[in-house]
């Protein structure tokens, strides 16, 4: 059996007039994230972690923000495509551990739903999707509520 890990990071600016999508769910908030797709920073970080673990470059390489095909796309579709991409090299998702950094909205009540949605998209058990939320204690761009960032680590394997 071969086991590999990967790390992902993403950040998007908060703006008025956009929906806030995190972990594949829409969260009511006064602002949303700006991006070519739905700008779901959590899913984008997970995609990068999976692609990195498989040594398949990054989300921007596979789903460029210069392509009309991906404009306003639901990031759950990108995650599903990412899982299919790593499968072409024989890998399956083992587990995900991710952290979202945001001052507001408070995310703890949304985490179980995010875990369920992401587990379904990746075809893994909900126990294999860990999501945590934190603030930056009002420091930096996140603390000033200018944006939201996310970090993710993925474990993938093949040969089971």
135 is in an annotated binding site: yes
Q: Was 137 annotated as part of a binding site?
A: yes
Q: Quote the pLDDT of residue 48.
A: 98
pLDDT of residue 119: 98
Instruction: Map out the domains of the chain as residue ranges.
Output: 2-158
CATH of domain 2-158: 3.30.1330.50
Name the pairing type of β-strands 92-101 and 129-134. Answer: parallel
CA dihedral 66, 67, 72, 77 (to 10 degrees): -120
Annotated binding residue 72: no
Strands 32-33 and 147-158: unpaired
Positions of the chain with pLDDT lower than 50, given as ranges: none
In this structure, the number of other CB atoms found within 10 A of the CB of residue 89 comes to 12
74 annotated binding-site participant: no
Per-residue pLDDT tens digits for 75-92: 999 999 999 999 999 999
Q: Where are the alpha helices (DSSP H) in 21-150?
A: 41-53, 59-62, 75-87, 111-122, 140-143
């Amino acid at each position: 059996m071969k086991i590999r890990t990967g790390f992902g990071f993403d950040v998007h600016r908060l703006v008025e007039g956009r929906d806030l999508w995190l972990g594949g769910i829409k969260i009511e908030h006064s602002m949303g994230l700006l991006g070519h797709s739905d700008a779901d920073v959590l899913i984008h970080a997970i995609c990068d972690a999976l692609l990195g673990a498989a040594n398949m470059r990054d989300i921007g390489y596979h789903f460029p923000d210069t392509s009309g095909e991906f404009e306003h796309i639901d990031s759950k579709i990108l995650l599903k495509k990412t899982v299919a991409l790593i499968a072409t090299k024989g890998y399956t998702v083992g587990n995900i551990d991710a952290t979202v950094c945001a001052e507001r909205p408070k995310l703890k009540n949304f985490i179980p739903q995010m875990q369920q949605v992401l587990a379904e998209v990746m075809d893994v058990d909900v126990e294999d999707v860990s999501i945590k939320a934190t603030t930056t204690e009002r420091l930096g761009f996140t603390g000033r509520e200018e944006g939201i960032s996310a970090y993710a680590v993925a474990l993938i394997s093949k040969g089971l």
